[in-house]
């Protein structure tokens, strides 16, 4: 059975294999996609529980009721900013609904810093063998639009 994935971000969608960081591009941590953002906010792509918030505010993991682990990672090397330009609206243990605002960030700050990129990633961790993320959208996407499937 396929699972539909919704974008947490608004911007231009790309396959994870094109991510500017090889850890993501080579799927070392899981499969997914990334968005070059045109809006500096991340929305909950599904109902679930917040099971991790990065101390540097650039990453959040949501675990859904069926155990799917969705990691939102805003920017690459963005932990270097130590939280500057990020505002988080949830904490670990919080129950979220699809569409809840999780965090805001400054795409401009990510683009201006020589160590970071603005690639906003949705990573699916611990998928079953043989499963992969297939994009069903291309180009510009809006937050909460269906953009991919796990199958």
- CATH label of the domain that carries residue 128: 2.70.70.10
pTM over 0.85: yes
In the chain, the percentage of residues whose pLDDT exceeds 90 is 88
Q: How many domains would you assign to the chain?
A: 1
Would you state the pLDDT for residue 1?
57
Q: 15-41: b or e for each residue (b if 16 or more CB lie within 10 Å)?
A: bbeebebeebbebebbbbbbbbbebbb
The predicted-structure confidence for 70-108, as pLDDT tens digits, reads as follows 999 999 999 889 999 999 999 999 999 999 999 999 999
Report the pLDDT value the prediction gives residue 145, as an integer from 0 to 100: 98
Q: What is the per-residue burial (b if ≥16 Cβ within 10 Å, else e) of 74-105? A: bbbbbbebeeebbebebeeebebeeeeebbbb
Residue 62, domain extent: 3-150
- Residues catalogued as catalytic: 73
């Amino acid at each position: 059975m396929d699972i539909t994935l919704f974008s947490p971000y608004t911007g231009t969608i790309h396959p994870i294999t094109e991510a500017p960081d090889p850890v993501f591009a080579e799927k070392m941590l899981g499969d997914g996609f990334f968005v070059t953002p045109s809006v500096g906010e991340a929305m909950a792509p599904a109902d679930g529980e917040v099971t991790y918030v990065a101390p540097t505010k650039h990453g959040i993991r949501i675990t859904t009721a069926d155990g799917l682990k969705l990691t939102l990672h805003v920017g690459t090397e963005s932990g270097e900013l130590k939280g500057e330009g990020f505002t988080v609206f949830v904490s670990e243990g919080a129950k979220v609904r699809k569409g809840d605002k999780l965090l805001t960030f400054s795409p401009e700050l990510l683009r201006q810093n020589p160590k970071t990129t603005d690639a906003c990633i949705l990573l699916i961790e611990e998928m079953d063998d043989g499963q992969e993320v297939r994009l069903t959208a291309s180009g510009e996407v809006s937050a909460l639009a269906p953009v991919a499937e796990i199958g």
